[in-house]
């Protein structure tokens, strides 16, 4: 048994080992072989299957599973390239990409969580279509997380009386939480990572607006057809809430709209400001404009917490 483990460990390290020319110049991520991607594939598969196949275990131990996949990425890196190279890669991933990424999500989540939409709507195909279309439009400005936080609860309340309503949430995920964020770094996380690496803020806005509108239009059309069919099916059994008058909609926490504008200004200002000053942390250069941007985003989030009543976030399910 020990010999088998040693043999397969040797085979694994051989597959991960760099070419001699690559080893001479140190770690170069662009030339790493495909087995290095397996921990990333593994954590994606775990995230996708965990809530379905082992729900209770996943919700109790998802942090441990993520940690395990992280170790499976870093330990072979240290074994093949040395501990300093593995530590440098870890620092670069954390400070060069993850920190700014999570700060942006934090700011959008906090600020959007302070915007409260109240009132009762009837979950008719027209109302559902308007909510989904509006959420798709604002997702690239508020971020998919922010747009979803603002609109998901009014949508759920509107469709609570529907007998068949799961499809409404599924298409909400398609449109508001995914497709709608394709037009700016605020919208989808991968676009923000591209922005951190120098991609222009409005690049996707200029280059894929038509494709985004086409995909969103097709998906929304499919939703309308499906929702109308389910709605007519439901009406054969119940009145689907028509006996309850719709309450007037109201939006509270308007100061957060200004703070969202502040987030956009902070990102654009950081992209335009080039002071040519940086701080080196174990091989990772942190440019002054990026440090200032992240600090501004944290400050904006704190301002939102101070200026917005706690009741807004409680009603939005903010934790």
Domains of the chain, by residue range, sit at 2-81, 112-315
Q: Residue 217 CA to chain centroid, in angstroms?
A: 22
Greater confidence, 251 or 242?
251
Report whether pLDDT(71) > 80.
yes
Report whether pLDDT(267) > 80.
yes
pTM of the model: 0.77
Q: What is the pLDDT of residues 159-205, one digit of tens each?
A: 988 888 999 999 999 999 999 999 999 888 788 888 888 888 899 99
Helix (H, G, I), strand (E, B) or coil at 118: strand
- Rounded mean pLDDT of the chain? 85
Confidence of residue 225 (pLDDT cuts 50, 70, 90): very high
Confidence of residue 145 (pLDDT cuts 50, 70, 90): confident
pLDDT at 278: 87
pLDDT at 20: 37
Cβ(29)–Cβ(85) below 8 Å: no
- Distance between start and end Cα atoms, the chain: 48
């Amino acid at each position: 048994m020990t010999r088998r483990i040693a043999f397969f460990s040797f085979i694994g390290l051989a597959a991960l080992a760099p070419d001699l020319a690559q080893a001479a110049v140190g770690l170069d991520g662009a030339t790493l072989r495909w087995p290095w991607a397996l921990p990333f594939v593994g954590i994606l598969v775990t995230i996708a299957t965990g809530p379905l196949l082992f729900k209770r275990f996943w919700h109790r131990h998802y942090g441990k599973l993520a940690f395990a996949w992280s170790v499976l990425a870093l330990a072979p890196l240290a074994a093949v390239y040395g501990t300093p190279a593995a530590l440098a890669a870890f620092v670069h991933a954390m400070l060069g990409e993850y920190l700014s990424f999570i700060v942006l999500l934090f700011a959008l989540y906090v600020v959007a969580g302070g915007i409260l939409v109240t009132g009762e709507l009837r979950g008719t195909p027209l109302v559902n279509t308007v909510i989904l279309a509006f959420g798709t439009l604002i997702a690239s400005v508020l971020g998919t997380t922010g747009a979803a936080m603002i609109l998901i609860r009014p949508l759920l309340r509107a469709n609570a009386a529907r007998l068949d309503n799961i499809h409404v949430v599924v298409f909400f995920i398609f449109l508001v939480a995914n497709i709608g964020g394709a037009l700016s770094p605020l919208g989808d996380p991968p676009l923000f990572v591209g922005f951190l690496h120098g991609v222009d803020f409005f690049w996707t806005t200029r280059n894929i607006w038509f494709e985004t509108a086409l995909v969103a239009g097709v998906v929304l059309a499919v939703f309308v057809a499906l929702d109308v069919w389910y709605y007519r099916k439901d009406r054969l059994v119940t009145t689907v809430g028509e006996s309850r008058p719709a309450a007037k909609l109201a939006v509270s926490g308007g100061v957060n709209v200004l703070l969202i504008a502040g987030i956009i200004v902070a990102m654009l200002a950081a992209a335009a400001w080039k002071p040519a000053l940086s701080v080196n942390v174990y091989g990772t250069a942190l440019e002054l404009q990026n440090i200032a941007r992240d600090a501004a985003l944290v400050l904006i989030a704190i301002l939102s917490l101070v200026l917005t009543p706690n009741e807004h976030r409680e009603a939005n399910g903010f934790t």
